[in-house]
Structure formats: structure tokens, C-alpha cells
Amino acid sequence: MSEQTYELRFEYFNEENATLFFQKITDFLLSIDKLNNSLVSVFGIEIDINIQIKSIEKGSIRIWIAEKLNKISDDDIKHYVSNPRELLADLLIKSKKMILEKIQDKKCQDIPKEYKNIIEKSDLKDFGYNNNETNLLTCVSDLTHKAKEFKHKPMIIFEEKVYGISETFDYNPKTADGVKEQISKMQGAFIIKKPDLTGESKWEIINDKVIKVKINDENFKNKLKDRSIKLSYGDKIKGVLISKTYISKDLEVLENEYFLEDIKGIIEPSYTQEKSLFK
């Protein structure tokens, strides 16, 4: 695979401190890594890719980045293309240039469609690919927010052309077009694994598995705060468990949320007393 590198430039002026500044750089690099993995995930095969620092210059910090494909299912792809590593490397470079242009033009919603066009113009199209619009736009949103944390926007330089990320792209997969919400309700008594005595943060309860639930019962929360409800190990909380599942238009489960409502109270555990055989 031919080496393909690009440059990241970070200006260190009036930043809080060096430790925090370099933590921001690390977070920014990780967001690029996540974006790369989202881009190759459309092919539905095992590809292990990460970015590597090739060299660093002093002054304004300039970091040359190379992307390394450590693992790729050549046996799956080689029937369709002669050099899959080379093609995927080219795909990553072309797609990131496109993504940066769309960020600058404030047209991030067009990214999934444009990425599909790039694949269709490559030899990889014959291998087949799926749609990961939700994951891709989530990674793009994360990248812009990581860039926004710097006082001076980081610059990404491809072939001497400079791209700056100065605007954030806010993307909430749960409110995206085509997302469906499924709601189910179940009444019962659930073992309390980890309570929160203020009722403001999520509780952990056991319902076949451990789940985190938000308490949506103000009367119950008020009783917790004034200590009129007592809790001990093994207690159960009785109420209505509501499960909300968000499903994308690509039939991908985006998130599960759980709530407890209409709480009837706390049930103490029942202990079986052993009777002695001897008086």
C-alpha cells in the first residue's frame, strides 16, 4: 500500500495549559480515527484501521498523519479488486476531503450521499456496501465538536490545500428523519441493584439483566428526599417499566431508554426462616 499522509496543524496561543491542549489534540485524533472506521464499516467486513503519527514539528504544532490498515479481509475482497488496501487508502483520503468541504459549506447532511457517489466511482462498488448514514453523521458531528474546543481552529492540510473546522454540526440520531420510536410497558416489581436517594440520576434495576432507568414519578422522588421511604439490600421497586427503542430508517437500533413510572412503593424481600429439628 502506498503511503498517504496529511498534515494537522494546531496553533498554541492563549490556551489554558499544555496538558489540556495536548489532551484536546488526542481527542481530535481519536475523532478522526472513529470517522475512518465509520467510513470503512459500510463494507461489512473486518477492517482494522488506525491513524499513526509520522512526524511532529515544533512551533505551531504540525503533525503528519498516516492511516494504517492493520487487518483486512483480503480473501473476501480480492475476488472483486486487485489491490484492496490501495483502494481503501484512496477512498479514505478522497472521502475525508469531501467531508471537510461539506463541513465548510455547512452541507453536512449531504455527506452520506456524496460518500456513496465516491464509492460508486471506485472499483469497490462491485464488492457491495451498506448504508451507515446515522453512524457517519454522528462521527462528523463529534469531529466538529472536538475541533470547536480549541481556541484557534485546527487545520487539516491535504496536498497543500488547507481545511479549517470552525463551525459545529449538531446531529442527534434520535431526531433524524425516518427514525421510529417503539414503546413497550410492563408492570412489575424489580430488584434494586443501585438506587439514587435523590431520584435525579438513573437507578440500576434487574429485569433479567441490569438496566439503567430514570424515575418519572415526582411523588416518589419527593418521598425519597424527605426520607419517608426506606431502602435496604434486596428490596424491589414496584411500578410500570417503560422501554423506548429508537430505530433508524436503515433498521439500526440507535438507543434504548428505560423509565419507571406510577411507582406503588418498595417491597421488602421475604426471608424463609429455618426451623430447628431439635427443641
Alpha carbon 253 to its chain's center: 13
Task: List the grid coordinates of 136.
Answer: 457517519
Q: What is the pLDDT along the chain (279 residues), one digit of tens a residue?
A: 345 788 999 988 776 688 888 899 999 999 999 999 999 989 877 788 888 888 887 767 889 888 888 777 666 677 677 777 888 888 998 999 999 999 999 999 999 999 999 999 988 888 888 888 888 999 999 999 999 999 888 999 988 889 989 889 998 888 777 788 899 999 999 999 988 876 678 899 998 889 999 999 999 988 888 888 888 878 999 999 999 998 887 777 888 999 999 999 899 877 544 444 444
- Give the type of residue at 231: L
The one-letter code for the residue type at 69 is L
pLDDT at 223: 87
3-state SS of 105-161 is CCCHHHHHHHHHHHHHCCHHHHHCCCCCHHHHHHHHHHHHHHHHCCCCCCEEEECCE
Beta bridge partners of 94: none
Task: Map out the domains of the chain as residue ranges.
Answer: 5-171, 180-267
Would you say 258 and 243 are in contact if contact means Cβ atoms under 8 Å apart? yes
Q: Which three cell numbers stand for residue 165?
A: 473546522
Q: Which residue has the cell 451507515?
A: 132
Residue 57: burial class (beta carbons within 10 Å; 0-12, 13-18, 19+): exposed
Each residue's pLDDT tens digit, 3-27: 578 899 998 877 668 888 889 999 9
Rounded distance between C-alpha atoms, residue 67 and residue 93, angstroms: 9
Instruction: Say which residues have a Cβ less than 8 Å from residue 127's Cβ, sequence separation at least 6.
Output: 43, 76, 77, 80, 81
| This prediction's pTM | 0.71
What cell does 197 get?
436517594
User: What pLDDT, on a 0 to 100 scale, did the predictor assign at position 279?
Assistant: 42
- Cβ neighbors of 14 (< 8 A, separation 6 or more) are 151
Say how far apart CA 71 and CA 127 lie, in whole Å: 17
DSSP H helices, the chain, are 18-40, 74-77, 84-104, 111-120, 133-148, 218-225
Residue 148 is predicted with a pLDDT of 92
* Torsion angle defined by CA atoms of residues 241, 247, 145 and 48, in that order, rounded to the nearest 10 degrees: 110
